[in-house]
Amino acid sequence: MRLLVAGLLGCALLAAPAAARADCGVSGPSRAQAWRAELLARTPVSAHPGGPVRGSLAPDRVGALLVLAVARDAGGRCWLRVRLPARPNDAAGWIAADRVTVSPTPWRIEIGLRQRTVTLLRAGKPVRRYRAVVGASGTPTPRGLFAFTDAYRGRDSDFLGRWVLSLTAHSDVLERFDGGDGRVAVHGRGGASLRDPLGGAASHGCVRLSNPAISGIVRRIGAAAVPGTPVRLTHSG
């Protein structure tokens, strides 16, 4: 999975103030629509609009980011508060809107951990619902509003299956796992992962879908448009 450049985590740990309303042509996510921010070049990240730079993001390391809020600085420049793929799981930072290309997406994923289902929505309306494997009791899948950061094509026979859709989320229990930093993903099933039936709670925190199911999600959204798509994980659903 792609890694953030050094220095980003320090920015992520700083609390960001609530955004003022700004007419920048972009808004925070709703159930019907969200905005994706694709980087044009290495982009500074600040703790607040127009504030000191605390880190940076590179386009070859981050596909796209989910826009959470919009504000203007004292000079009238538009800034976007974006979800960062860093700890803690609600990590966010501010980037200048003129450093990215923004595009709306009608797609949204809602994952119900109690029901162990993944629902694909378009413009707020359910399109498909799939059974899934979620985190075991000792390594639960984290809850919150996250976003996909990347989409990797695999093989059906791989443990992670046909597609791996990385999330901004990290495990609440595992600081490190399998050589990585505990990032969570939605992925397919293959090899040994087929031993755990759909509808169960058996993973280390990732959400597993059948290969046809995750392929259907990627096909509908489009692989290039998967990064930045919002993903809400709740216990109640």
Catalytic (active-site) positions = 187, 206
For residues 23 and 56, is the Cβ–Cβ distance under 8 A? Answer: no
Neighbours of 209 (CB within 10 A): 24
Q: What is the 3-state secondary structure (H, E, C) of 113-133?
A: CCCCEEEEEECCEEEEEEECE
> Helix, strand, coil proportions of the chain in percent (round to 5)?
10, 40, 50
Contact residues for 44 (Cβ-Cβ < 8 A; gap 6+):
53, 55, 56, 95, 96, 99
Nearest to 82 by CA among 96, 98, 69: 69
Please work out, in degrees rounded to the nearest 5, the angle formed at the alpha carbon of residue 208 by the alpha carbons of 152 and 57.
40
